[in-house]
A and B are shown apart, each in its own frame.
Chain A
C-alpha cells in the first residue's frame, strides 16, 4: 500500500522546497532571511552566515533578476540535458542564484524570470527544477 502511494506521488523538484507556486500559480523561489540581522540567503540555511542566529524565516524572493554570467555546457554528467545552459542570476536584495537557463539566446545583463522546467533525465524519469527564462524586451 505504502509503496503504491510512493509510486503515484509526483517526483519532487531537484531543488526541493526552494521553489513553490504563489496564489496566482507563478513560480517563486524561497530563500531565507535572518530574523535577527536581516541577512538573506538562497538556498535557505538553518544558520545565518551574518550572525550565526538560527532564527531564520522563509522568504519569497523577487521573481525577476539580472543575468550576471552564463555558459552553454557540452560536457557534463549524462543525466543533464545538453547543451546545458547555466548561469548566475542576481536578484534584488543581494541574492545570487545558480540556475539552469531555458529557452532562447542569452546575453549578460538580460532580465530573466523564474519558472520550472525539465533540466535532465535519469532512470527515474525527467528531472525538474527551477529555471530562469529571458523576459522579452
Chain B
C-alpha cells in the first residue's frame, strides 16, 4: 500500500434542516473540503459517498450539482458506518495507486422522519418483534450495570461531558451544556436511558479530500497521514454473546492497532461511536483505553475530558455534535484532522499528534453491529 493523507476537510453544522434536500445538504460540505485543500474540483478522480437513508445515487446528485460529475462515483450504504466505510474504500483506492486525489462524502437527512426512534427494517427478526436501537443499547447498559456496578449518575456523566464539549463546537447540533440532574430528569426513553442519553435526530454532511504521497505535500504541507484504515462486519451469533464487550469493535480495534503499529497508549484523541451514553464506556474498554470494568472510573476521573489523558469525543460526539447516521464517520474524521492540525479552537487537545475515529452501526439480529470502521491518523 502507498501512503495516503487527508489534505482537505469540510462539513456543514449538524442540525435540523427540514426545508433543505439531501443534495443541498451535501454540496456545501464538498465545496468546503475543496476550499480547505485549496484545489480545483477537477482534480478529483473518484468519489466515495456514504449515506444510509439518502436514497439512490446521492453521490452523483451532489457532484452533479457542483458540475463535477463524469468520474467514478460509488455510493456506500453501511448504516451508521456508511461514510466511514466509504473512507475505507477511498483509502484502498488511493493506497493501491489507482488514483492520486479522491473525495469522500457523508450525508444524511433524518429530519424527514419527524421525531421518535429511527425507523428500522421490520423484515429483520428482532426489529419485527419490536426491538429499537435505544432498547438494544439499553440492554447493554442493563447488563453492564449488573456486571460492574455502574451507577445511573456515572452513566449520565457521559452526556454531561459530551454536551460540555459540544458547547465548544460551532458545528454541533446540541450546544447547551447539561447537568447530571438534568440528564436524569429528562424524559425516559428506554430504561436506563433518558432522552439526554440518546443521540439527537438530525441532518448533516461532511467531506474529505484524500491524496497519495506523490501529490499530498504539494497540496498541503500539513497533510494528515492515514496510519490505519479498517473495516469489518460483525460475526453472526445465535447463542451467548457478552453485550458489555462488543466483539466487532474489540476485534476491529486489535486489527487496526496492528495495522498502525500502535497501541491504545499512543492515541492522543479519539472520536468514538457514542450513539447512547453506555456506548462510550463500552468503547473505552474495547479499545483498551482502560481495563474491563473500569470505564466508569475512567470517565469520572476526567481522563477522557478535555485536558485529560485521552480526550474522547472532543467534538461533542454523537450525543452533542449529532448523529445524521451516514454523515457521522466522515464528520468524526473532520474533527480529528482539525485536532491534529491544531485548528479545533476552544476544544483543542493540546499537542495532539495521533487521533482515532470509530463508527459502528446497524442493528440487525444476530450481530453486535453490522459494520464497524476504524481509522487512525497522524500528523
Q: Is the CB of B132 within 8 A of A14?
A: no
Interface size on B, residues (CB 8 A): 33
A76 contacts B240, C-beta separation under 8 Å: no
Write out the residue numbers on chain A whose beta carbons fall within 8 Å of the beta carbon of B128. 14
Determine whether the beta carbon of B190 is less than 8 Å from that of A94: no
Q: Give the distance to chain B from A42, nearest Cβ to Cβ, in Å.
A: 7
- 311-338 of chain B: CB within 8 A of chain A: none
Look across to chain B and name the residue whose beta carbon is closest to the beta carbon of A119. Answer: B130
- Fill in one digit per residue for A76-99: 1 if any B CB lies within 8 Å of its CB, else 0: 110010011011101000111011
Task: Let me know if B131 is at the binding interface, CB within 8 A.
Answer: yes
**CB closest chain-B residue, reference A74:** B188
B126 CB to nearest chain A CB (Å): 4
Partner of B140, one of A69, A72, A74: A69
Q: Known: A76-B132, A108-B146. Is A71-B239 also a contact (CB below 8 A)?
A: no
- A75 shortest CB reach to chain B, Å: 5
For the complex, is A41 an interface residue (Cβ under 8 Å from B)? Answer: yes
Query: B125, A86: Cβ atoms under 8 Å?
Result: no
Whether A49 is near chain B, meaning CB under 8 Å from some CB there, is: yes
Q: Does A35 belong to the interface (CB within 8 Å)? A: no
Q: Are A108 and B143 in contact (CB under 8 A)?
A: yes
Q: Size of chain A's interface in residues, with CB distance under 8 A?
A: 36
B243 surroundings in chain A (CB, below 8 A): 68-69, 88
Count contacts between A and B, CB distance < 8 Å.
100
Contact A94 B134 (CB under 8 A): no
The chain A residue with its CB closest to the CB of B116 is A75
Which of A43, A75, A86 contacts B117 (CB under 8 A)? A75
The CA of A100 and the CA of B190, in the complex, are separated in Å by 14
Contacts of B236 in A (CB 8 A): 49
User: Nearest A residue to B139 by beta-carbon distance?
Assistant: A69
Please tell me if the beta carbons of B143 and A96 are within 8 angstroms of each other in the complex. Answer: no
User: B129 near A90 (CB under 8 angstroms)?
Assistant: no
Q: Which residues of B contact A15 (CB under 8 A)?
A: 129
Known: A14-B129, A108-B142. A86 touches B240 (CB 8 A): no
Q: Which residues of A contact B (CB under 8 A)?
A: 14-15, 39-43, 49, 68-77, 80, 83-84, 86-88, 90, 94-96, 98-100, 108-109, 119-120, 129
- Using a CB–CB distance below 8 Å, which chain B residues touch chain A? 116-117, 119, 125-126, 128-132, 134-135, 138-143, 146, 187-192, 236-241, 243, 365
